[in-house]
Chains A and B, each alone.
Chain A
Amino acid sequence: MALAIEMIGIRKVFPGVVANDNVNFSVEEGEIHALVGENGAGKTTLMNVLYGLYRADGGMIKIRGKEVNFHKNADAIALGIGMVHQSFKLVPSFTVAENITLGAEPRKNGVFIDQKAVRESVVDISQRFGLEVDPDAHVRDLPVGVEQRVEILKALYRSADILILDEPTAVLTPQETDELFEVIRSLVKGGKTVIFITHKFREVMQISDRVTVMRDGKVVATKNTKDTNPTELARMMVGRDVLLRVSKTKANPTNVVLEVKHLKALDNRFLPALRDVSLTVRAGEVLGIAGVEGNGQRELVEAIVGLREVIHGSIELYGQDIAHKSVRERRDAGIACVPEDRYVRGVALRATLEDNLIVENYNRPPISKGQVLDLNQIKDYSQRLIEEFDVRTPGSAVPAFTLSGGNLQKVVLAREIDARPKLLIVAQPTRGLDVGSIEFVHRTIINARDSGAAVLLVSAELEEVMSLSDRIAVLYEGDIVGTIDADKATEEGLGLWMAGITDGHQSQEARPAVTGGEEVSRE
């Protein structure tokens, strides 16, 4: 079969990071090609190079056998490449038709927009590919699934025949995902080629013809989908057969530290993100929250830490409801958190390490007395933490952005753990870290547990959740579908829960495992 795309030896460097390192990637005409890898593996960068948004620092791109050189992304569009980004690029106050035709509007007399032709061509193209939209609706009023359809139509309108979909299912409900897959299949039948970026194996197996796995900016392998299986894909993606099992003793849980009851919260679009979440964490245990990203994990952490409004329900720390207290009050009550967005929430990149390290305790002795900060104490304190947590840095007064990701995560851990929290929340703690740092982070989390903290671990890496947790709860569409002791959990069983299937064998065992006398009640 003819090659639609051939990318040879692509290299792309960002300051401090090699995002793509000698990547070879090819897609055949008329196939659905899945591109998988962990966050930060370089998938999106590679596609942005293909789409002309980034210029590669090295390598060659061939489209249908012809070498091309994109100066701007209009060049890529002209050659029939279309991309649907993970975050949609739509103009909210424009109509669907205006959004679809933007940048390539049919004209009248050369200077005016031909409104009739705009509408007609949108109706025409949406009928031709069976993607129903109301051309006159304003985009700001549309649900996400329809917005995505508008995005696909945008590409089709520009007669794209190579379509890149960047994690298209991340924002969709299962039904919408099924609909999207139907659309993709019909597109391919109509002669299009589709590149499908994802990190969900189920989708790879379900939809793709071939699959390319990326890790750390390199391509690991390209396979026919029917010749591979999720386990193999997982192994290639994480680059190790079994995750380094953390050596830990059995948990010795004592009294209840955190009790969340019937928690309800909204996401940034004011849609329900947590519907009715109840969970309990005891001192000396790790409760792992597993689940596909975007099922409410982020909102759960933010609600407990105090960054997101609690609409309904309670969050009790040692029996005291803290659901409506400020972040500072919660921190002072003994909550610490290693946040998911290390570079946004975890550190202030332009601030020095010292300033980053004292944000938790700057308001009390010995760091400050009255209103005045003790600079010597700050220096000593920072240097102690830097040493204890083995942060590789030339000094404590350098700005945070000079450090690598792993070292920054150590800075965050050092700060949060040195606060001796009663409840430690860790969200996606090893994302984007090298193996050495991962080990360190894992050991630190277990140490915190053993010294008596209650640990709530949220991670998209199932292996990580399984190896660190004492109990595992699975979050699906804003609900806990089940909780189970880690030593009874299997990857398959958790996988079913993560897909929202609750009538499996595990759930019956799971319910009693929910400790703390809580009733999982549903109206």
Chain B
Amino acid sequence: MSSFTLSFPKTFRAGLSYWLSRSLTILLSILLAIIVGSLVMIWYGQDPIEIYRLLLSNAFGTQRGLFITLQRATPLIFTAISSTIAFRTGVFNVGVEGQFFIGAIAGTYVGYAVNLPTIIHLPLTLLAGFLGGAAWAYIPTIMRQRLGVSEIITTIMTNYIATFLISWLCNYPMRATPTVAETPFVASTATLPQFVDLNPLLGKGTQAHVGSFIALALVIVMWFVFKKTKIGYEWRMVGLSHKFSEFGGINLNRTFIGGMLISGGIAGLGGVIEILGVWRKYKDLFAVGFGFRGNLASLLGGQTVIGSTVAALFYGGMESGSLGLEWAAGVPRQLIDIIVGLIIFFMAAEGMWDFVKRIKWTRGGEATRRTTENLEV
């Protein structure tokens, strides 16, 4: 700050205008989604202002709401950061969904099948979740790295394979009761305590659990990894430019495989933590959508660690708020899902907001360019 040289304002201005236009884009997307959502609410016979007020107060206004927000956001933080790692290494990991399931089931198994003191059992269970997710990411990773097959197709396939595999596990070998397709409860030595267990007044009536602290630790660690470690540098560079990284001597295969496996592992860790903190057993099909919403949260957050976390919290807040709405006002919680969906549509549609960028850069005569370069999808 001290050196206010000639060059300083230039970068400052460039950075400022970037952040201004980005914030404005986000703001306008939310605004547009709110407007469209309001129209739907009016059609549905509700007062939009009242609904939005309830939504926010339910999500963030009460202690209970906040704890539900936290509980809902925790798995999404894992899946969003998992997606972010993959994105940053230049991969679209649509398989976070399946990796989350597999991590959860692997952890559940270790959670109920072995008998150990907490100090060993809990870490072992978490490790099983991580390894399960990583193992599930291994198949598409190796198919892309060795065969060059698009990870998008293969991860979609492996998601469904995971779904059916787990349905079988829950129905046959791991089934605990004849009536419901679910596994036995994990042993108390492997569970993550809920806040109410620690103090009956903390998060009363919610299932918020200490797994959120693991999420917080993960956020800090991953932020540090990206910012200040060699492996993070390699991930960033490979994601920004394969050719440059290869030329600079970064081992592309190792970076890509490592990134994908850690991405899968973190998704799996999220799965097992959701089990150990909230469910305590694997109920068939309980986890549908965590991975996909993580993908979207990562995108909402600009594919950065902090941004993904904020987006996951926002997502969790919307869910918490809409649950409250459903209980309090009988408004279907899908209405809020629709609004969040609209926000994502509008935010992802960069081209809609080109005029925002033009506000800042009216000077440079923009060339209308019709080349084949912008045809790539």
Contact = CB atoms under 8 A, between A and B. Distances in A.
B251 A326 contact: yes
Contacts of A337: 247
Given A13-B367, A327-B246, A358-B233, 16 more contacts: A14-B369, A15-B366, A54-B370, A55-B368, A72-B370, A307-B247, A326-B249, A332-B249, A346-B244, A347-B244, A348-B237, A348-B245, A349-B241, A359-B244, A359-B249, A395-B7
B232 to A, nearest CB: 8
A332 B248 CA distance: 11
Interface string B225-265: 00111110100110011011111111100000000000000
A69 B10 CA distance: 39
24 contacts: A13-B367, A48-B371, A53-B372, A54-B371, A55-B370, A57-B365, A57-B367, A307-B246, A307-B247, A327-B249, A337-B247, A344-B244, A345-B243, A350-B240, A351-B236, A351-B237, A351-B240, A359-B244, A363-B230, A371-B230, A373-B228, A375-B228, A394-B10, A398-B14
B366 to A, nearest CB: 8
Nearest to A341: B243
Contacts of A54: 369-371
Interface residues of B, number: 33
Interface of A: 12-15, 48, 53-55, 57, 72, 305, 307, 326-328, 330-332, 337, 339, 341, 344-351, 355-356, 358-360, 362-363, 368, 371-373, 375, 393-395, 397-398, 402
Interface in B36-60: none
Contacts of B366: 15
Interface of B: 7-8, 10-11, 14, 227-231, 233, 236-237, 240-241, 243-251, 364-372
Contacts of A330: 249
Max chain A Cβ within 10 angstroms of own Cβ: one of B10, B236, B243, B245: B243
B11 A373 contact: no
A373 B233 contact: yes
Given A53-B370, A355-B236, A328 B14 contact: no
Contacts of B240: 348, 350-351
A350 B241 contact: yes
Max chain B Cβ within 10 angstroms of own Cβ: one of A72, A345, A398: A345
Nearest to A392: B7
Contact of B233 (A57, A349, A362): A362
A305 B247 contact: yes
Contacts of B227: 375
Contact of A328 (B8, B11, B249): B249
Contacts of A397: 11
A331 B246 CA distance: 12
Contact of B241 (A14, A331, A348, A393): A348
Nearest to B234: A362
Max chain A Cβ within 10 angstroms of own Cβ: one of B237, B244, B246, B250: B244
